[in-house]
Amino acid sequence: MTFATRFAPSPTGYLHRGHAFSALTAFQAARQAGGRFVLRIEDIDATRSRPEYDSAILEDLAWLGLSWEQPVRRQSEHLADYHAAIEALRERGLVYRCFKTRKELDIGRAPHEPAAPYRGAPLPQAEEAERLARGEAFAWRLSLDAAEQALGGFGDLAFVEEGAGPDGETGRIAARPETAGDIVLARKDVGVAYHLAVVLDDALQGISHVIRGVDLFEAAHIQRLLQALLGLPTPTYRHHRLLTGPDGKRYAKRDKAQTLRELRAAGMTPDALRAEMGF
């Protein structure tokens, strides 16, 4: 397979140094391998995605000196692909309707305790029909129990890590999808959720290497399971370190990290920023 990797931001804010580091890491890897660099806009969150952020992503990456294949894939334009995958899993009994809200899932958990992986089951047919008749919202969840039965266990699931996980994991790693629980594959408001969309997009775009931050290392475990269930190829993973600021905290939108637009307005040049990050 031809080397191909991607940078896949969400247009829910402006890019910052952390985004630039990840994009440059993937872009440099593609150039060194003589392969493909793909830009994907992960805009399934319709409530937070904005056209101005989408346009700014393209502007900022071009300012950094990056180029990418055309056309850019925007997830919001391919919902039919994700719905077809959900339907295929539903026909095999691998997903079930979940009517629980986040508030209900947190009942009985102390504020300082992390949420335990949720494991559930389909409702009795009569109760489910009644709730559907009342128009209650639901999400499609992956059933780990059904998935494990369909595959004859998770023992053969593994992925190759060429970077390093948070505890230094590298090489061939046994997948542990049970650590994620019965994840939501189709959200109530959109009809698809992150893990399913990412797995399908990577396969459809021929991504051979997923290069992303180490904060997403755990996602590889459940994504490996989805690849097996949907008959999709498993890319090689490279999880890179997270860029941190002077305070030691990683750059993040929610912490209002200084954006690339702000850096540019302050006189920062692309060469200076790349040099600052070691490129």
Q: Note the pLDDT tens digit of each residue in 170-220.
A: 999 999 999 999 999 998 777 899 999 999 999 999 999 999 999 999 999
Beta strands 4-7 and 36-41, pairing class: parallel
> What integer pLDDT is reported at residue 251 of this predicted model?
78
Q: What is the pLDDT of residues 211-269, one digit of tens each?
A: 999 999 999 999 999 999 999 999 999 999 998 878 778 877 776 778 999 999 999 99
Q: How far is CA 27 from CA 21, 210, 261, in A?
A: 10, 12, 20
Per-residue pLDDT, 110: 47
CA angle 211, 224, 169 (to 5 degrees): 60
Asked if residue 97 has pLDDT above 70, the reply is yes
Least confident among 90-99, 112-121, 173-182 = 112-121
Q: Which is nearest to 180 in space by CA: 192, 166, 158, 195?
A: 195
Cα–Cα dist 205/191, whole Å: 21
Mean pLDDT of the chain: 93
The whole-model pTM stands at 0.94
Residue 113 pLDDT exceeds 70: no
Token pair 């690339």 is found at 260
b/e map of 103-135 (b: 16 or more CB within 10 Å)? Answer: eeeeeeeeeeeeeeeeebeebeeeebeeeeeee
